[in-house]
Amino acid sequence: MPTTPSLRDLEHNEAFVERHIGPNDAEIAHMLRVVGHDSLDAMTDAIVPASIRSKDPLALPPSLTEVDALARIRAIADRNEVFRSFIGQGYYGTHTPNVILRNILENPAWYTAYTPYQAEISQGRMEALINFQTMVAELTGMEIANASLLDEATAAAEAMTLAKRSSRSKSNVFFVSKNVHPQTLEVLRTRADGLGIELHVGDDADAASVESYGVLLQYPDTFGRIHAYKALVEAVHARGGLVAVATDLLALTLIAAPGEWGADIVVGNTQRFGVPFGFGGPHAAFMACRDAYKRSMPGRLIGVSVDAEGNPAYRLTLQTREQHIRREKATSNICTAQVLLAVMASMYAVYHGPDGLVRIARRTHRLAAILAASLRKCGVAVGADFFDTLHVVDVDAADIHARAAKVGINLRKIDATSVGISLDETTTRDDVVALAQLFDAQVDDIDALDSDTGDALPASLLRQSKFMRHPVFNSHHSEHELLRYMRALADRDLAMDRTMIPLGSCTMKLNATAEMIPVTWPEFGNLHPLAPAGQTSGYQELVDGLESMLAEITGYDAVSFQPNSGAQGEFAGLMAIRAWHQSRGEGHRDICLIPESAHGTNPASAQMCGMTVVVTRCDANGNVDVEDIRAKAAKHADRLAAIMITYPSTHGVFEEDVVEICEIVHAHGGQVYTDGANMNALVGVARPGKWGSDVSHLNLHKTFCIPHGGGGPGVGPCAVRSHLAPFLPRAFGGEGGGMVSAATHGSASILPISWMYIALMGAGGLRKATQVALLNANYVAKKLEPHYETLYTGRNGLVAHECILDLRPLKDATGIGAEDVAKRLIDFGFHAPTLSFPVAGTLMVEPTESESQHELDRFIDAMIQIRDEIRAVEEGKLDREDNPLRHAPHTAAQVSASEWTHAYPRELAAFPLASLRLQKYWPPVARVDNVHGDKNVFCSCIPVGSPDEEPEAFSEPDVV
């Protein structure tokens, strides 16, 4: 007799868990048979050592449906109150052009992309980023700019260290103007403390006389005043110091560029170029500098090179500066930056063009000048020489703030007798009237005031030079043009909306739409980070809720969301360890043990805390060598500060000895830092805070579903046991350890994504996700076993959540290496796995739980076909040099050219599998030449004709 399905069965089909996890139950059963286990639990027990396995399920609520989770977070959002913000202090209102909002910020083709290490499938976003670099370099008047840094305050800290590396002066003092933004000063203090740099905070004028290796000025300053710094800069240069300037790009459309009056390094934030406040982030900061410092510059730099056909092609340039190669000698620990936000800001500039930006700046300035005039008329004192910010003095500040609050307005709190008012692109005539009324000033006729009021920009500093004359900034001003430009760029790239991105250590899993939806709600987007606490209860609830969820998941006691990348989380955690040692009178402890397999950010972060890195060995199985740790911990017992380990190991193995390692390090007075980037293998299965670790950072942009954005944004919360909690980064104006980023909760506006993920999955769903992540990795390893060697396996011949395929033996036999395989995968429409990390000559595959068996099989088929091609080379059926692997990827132009000179058929080049005839990705460029790009560093838009010619359409593919 057919049974009617129960209500519960029917409800099961609504469960988000079934959508997030790729394989269905039948596929899971099949895959389990392939890896040789009866159940997910049995497989988990075979992989995860009993010593760390959690006994109890996570104490989290059961999973919610998308409808219910969205309703819950809607209620949280509604507890935030969105006032009109005139607070300024580095954050300004902006209109995100709707075409950018929908087609970049809300478009998975952009937000699910990976960092552009694989140049051939990243040309679109790299063009957007080179536009960003060009815009920044030209507005600041500097020779070169990067893309991007995490926020203005950390960018200032990077300027402090770049100046240290580049200055001829022997001084250890960095001079900081007392008129930089206060949050910048906070972060500088933390970073200077870590590195032993002495900060001297003083009046601008003292920069000339105080001996220092470098100086930081703010232009316009935090109170809005624009100063003429040329003479001061000359004086600093005369005594061998360098000058860094924090600035505002919108102001620079009207006032002289810092590069024009001698600045050596320029930093700032592009938030007001179309990126909402987001209660502090994320937004893209930038750094521009003299060409001479480029090899010492922090952060990612896009450059122009050529491809195998000699055509121009973009790539990440000068990567030898980065942590992956230079470890503790890297120029900084920045890995994930703010790519998605840099893309938004660059598109804002492409959309408005130089004239549009000037118009926005002029209008903002006009409104500020009109407001100042109306205030002065009724006897309120306002400073001179400003762009958009008024410093109103000699008033009863408490009274003004109280009046403002009544009409839904926030002003900057400065002191008892002055307030700050910053106007911006969103300011209206009505706003000016309302602001004037707070001071009892009446504005009857704005147009009359307008014609009676002159500009307040200093005459000697008006901008004369042109900027952004490249065609790309002068062609896409209609919405159709911009829409098609953005689409054309997106189409050049491979993101997760087209293929799995099986990157080991990066956890490129599903970023579900329901998780993304709250991000663009105004109640999360339009809150200034310094909005009064009474207006931000929703954010408080979100942060507290996420903190307790993550504490439960990790087994730690307290979590700070301030770090805006994983590497910043490492820095925060190590600084907490350092402060804890100091609090116990053991401030001399400064040695950090780091296994040689560690991610490059680990040694780079340790160095930033003034720690000395001692590298420990790994054994032949890829495991950390416990005996070496024991010996080195003992040898350095007097100075041991910490060990940084990654678990499961960077080699994709659950090491048996992790508990013992914690005991060894503790016994010698050190603390245990567990890099939590691999938490996707642990959630619901094991908890580092309970097996003896003291602190971890998590990458919410890996395990907890914040999309990678093409290289950021990220959130790297730092989770600690209770003894370290007092040393976590403090809130702005609060108590605790030093601030590590500009805003109290860092990139707060993307926290809803992780909150939604956890709420949607519930305790059971999270554990199942981990188990399927383990299953998927083992399924791939098992299926590829007859074809490729898997480098390391753990207990029972199983891997953890990722597996390393060893191409080195094949390279020896055939000359075909891991890079050739990575490039050949592009011809199959796949993004390559992680190339040559942690072991050179290998590919590390992390499929994650959200890839279905179908997608895994597609990948496996491609890898097997590639192995067959390698075998054909081995057997002499394909030429050793002229084969599809060495020449991959193949462009449409190549395979359709009249002439075909290769020793293998076109068909093999383009369609190595029959399925590709139905769905084919064509890379826009052939293999990109790395050496050429590093020898001929060029980091701006590719010139099109002479700059004086009429603008022409740029960069659209040729129409055939």
Ligand X SMILES: *Cc1c(COP(=O)(O)O)cnc(C)c1O
When the beta carbons of 313 and 753 are compared against ligand X, the nearer one is: 753
CB of 601 to ligand X, least distance (A): 4
Asked whether 910 and 890 are in contact (CB, 8 A), the reply is yes
CB of 705 to ligand X, least distance (A): 14
When the beta carbons of 263 and 567 are compared against ligand X, the nearer one is: 567
When the beta carbons of 566 and 737 are compared against ligand X, the nearer one is: 566
Token representation of residue 423: 């106007």
When the beta carbons of 494 and 677 are compared against ligand X, the nearer one is: 677
Angle at 447 between CA 441 and CA 453, to 5 degrees: 70
Asked whether 665 and 643 are in contact (CB, 8 A), the reply is yes
Which amino acid is located at 308 in the chain?
Answer: A
Asked whether 532 and 281 are in contact (CB, 8 A), the reply is no
CB of 300 to ligand X, least distance (A): 11
CB of 658 to ligand X, least distance (A): 15
Angle at 832 between CA 828 and CA 835, to 5 degrees: 145
Asked whether 77 and 408 are in contact (CB, 8 A), the reply is no
Single out the segment in contact with ligand X by CB under 6 A; choices: 178-186, 245-253, 561-569, 935-943: 561-569
Q: Which among 913, 885, 910 has a CA at the least distance from the CA of 900?
A: 910
In Å, how far are 80, 743, 749 from 516, measured between CA atoms? 18, 22, 11
CB of 169 to ligand X, least distance (A): 31
When the beta carbons of 335 and 516 are compared against ligand X, the nearer one is: 335
Single out the segment in contact with ligand X by CB under 6 A; choices: 33-41, 245-253, 565-573, 897-905: 565-573
Residue span 578-617 as binding mask against ligand X, x where in contact by CB under 6 A, dash where not = ---------------------x-x----------------
CB atoms within 10 A of CB 169: 17
CB of 504 to ligand X, least distance (A): 8
Q: Which among 179, 229, 255, 669 has a CA at the least distance from the CA of 462?
A: 255
When the beta carbons of 567 and 805 are compared against ligand X, the nearer one is: 567
Asked whether 515 and 751 are in contact (CB, 8 A), the reply is no
Residue span 70-99 as binding mask against ligand X, x where in contact by CB under 6 A, dash where not = ------------------------------
CB of 290 to ligand X, least distance (A): 27
Q: Which among 568, 843, 571 has a CA at the least distance from the CA of 713?
A: 568
When the beta carbons of 243 and 567 are compared against ligand X, the nearer one is: 567
Q: What share of the chain is helix, strand, coil (3-state, %, to 5)?
A: 45, 15, 40
**3-state per-residue secondary structure call for 146-159:** CCCECCHHHHHHHH
Question: Which residues of 837-876 form beta strands (DSSP E)?
Answer: 842-845
Asked whether 80 and 30 are in contact (CB, 8 A), the reply is no
When the beta carbons of 554 and 699 are compared against ligand X, the nearer one is: 699
Interface pick for ligand X out of 566, 710, 817, 923 (rule CB under 6 A)? 566
Residues forming beta bridges with residue 392, ordered by sequence position: 382, 419
When the beta carbons of 318 and 681 are compared against ligand X, the nearer one is: 681
CB of 598 to ligand X, least distance (A): 7
Q: How far, in Å, CA of 298 to CA of 308, rounded?
A: 29
When the beta carbons of 259 and 566 are compared against ligand X, the nearer one is: 566
Q: How far, in Å, CA of 557 to CA of 525, rounded?
A: 29
**CA-derived radius of gyration, the chain:** 28
When the beta carbons of 112 and 646 are compared against ligand X, the nearer one is: 646
In Å, how far are 434, 551, 630 from 691, measured between CA atoms? 58, 14, 18
Q: How far, in Å, CA of 502 to CA of 856, rounded?
A: 10
When the beta carbons of 204 and 675 are compared against ligand X, the nearer one is: 675
Single out the segment in contact with ligand X by CB under 6 A; choices: 66-74, 396-404, 559-567, 924-932: 559-567
Q: How far, in Å, CA of 462 to CA of 358, rounded?
A: 12
CB of 709 to ligand X, least distance (A): 11
When the beta carbons of 85 and 565 are compared against ligand X, the nearer one is: 565
Interface pick for ligand X out of 179, 410, 565, 853 (rule CB under 6 A)? 565
CB of 757 to ligand X, least distance (A): 17
Asked whether 651 and 838 are in contact (CB, 8 A), the reply is yes
Interface pick for ligand X out of 247, 511, 623, 699 (rule CB under 6 A)? 699
Token representation of residue 317: 């340039």
Token representation of residue 313: 């092609």
CB of 552 to ligand X, least distance (A): 22
Closest residue by beta carbon to ligand X: 566
When the beta carbons of 89 and 336 are compared against ligand X, the nearer one is: 336
Interface pick for ligand X out of 268, 518, 525, 716 (rule CB under 6 A)? 716
Asked whether 608 and 191 are in contact (CB, 8 A), the reply is yes
CB of 654 to ligand X, least distance (A): 15
Asked whether 290 and 142 are in contact (CB, 8 A), the reply is yes
Q: Which of residues 617-676 bind ligand X (CB under 6 A)?
A: 646, 675
Q: Is 173 helix (H, G, I), strand (E, B) or coil?
A: strand
CB of 301 to ligand X, least distance (A): 16
Single out the segment in contact with ligand X by CB under 6 A; choices: 170-178, 194-202, 560-568, 893-901: 560-568
CB atoms within 10 A of CB 394: 10
Single out the segment in contact with ligand X by CB under 6 A; choices: 363-371, 421-429, 449-457, 564-572: 564-572
Q: What is the distance between the terminal CA atoms of the chain, rounded to a whole angstrom?
A: 64
Q: How far, in Å, CA of 123 to CA of 121, rounded?
A: 6
Asked whether 557 and 720 are in contact (CB, 8 A), the reply is yes
Those residues whose C-beta lies under 8 Å from the C-beta of residue 460, and which sit 6 or more positions away, are 228
When the beta carbons of 436 and 773 are compared against ligand X, the nearer one is: 773
**3-state per-residue secondary structure call for 684-706:** CCECHHHHCCCEEEECCCCCCCC
When the beta carbons of 354 and 711 are compared against ligand X, the nearer one is: 711
Task: Reply yes or no: is the peptide bond before residue 220 cis, omega within 30 of 0.
Answer: yes
Q: How many amino acids of this chain bind ligand X (CB under 6 A)?
A: 14
- By the 10 Å C-beta count (0-12 exposed, 13-18 middle, 19+ buried), 693 is classed as buried
When the beta carbons of 471 and 563 are compared against ligand X, the nearer one is: 563
According to the binding rule CB under 6 A, does residue 567 interact with ligand X? yes
Residue span 485-524 as binding mask against ligand X, x where in contact by CB under 6 A, dash where not = --------------------x-------------------
CB of 337 to ligand X, least distance (A): 8
CB of 321 to ligand X, least distance (A): 15
Query: How would you classify the pairing of strands 640-646 and 591-595?
Result: parallel
When the beta carbons of 294 and 599 are compared against ligand X, the nearer one is: 599
CB of 646 to ligand X, least distance (A): 5
Residue span 332-361 as binding mask against ligand X, x where in contact by CB under 6 A, dash where not = ---xx-------------------------
CB of 609 to ligand X, least distance (A): 15
Q: How far, in Å, CA of 894 to CA of 309, rounded?
A: 9
CB of 715 to ligand X, least distance (A): 8
Summarize as ranges the residues that interact with ligand X (CB under 6 A): 335-336, 505, 565-567, 599, 601, 646, 675, 677, 699, 714, 716
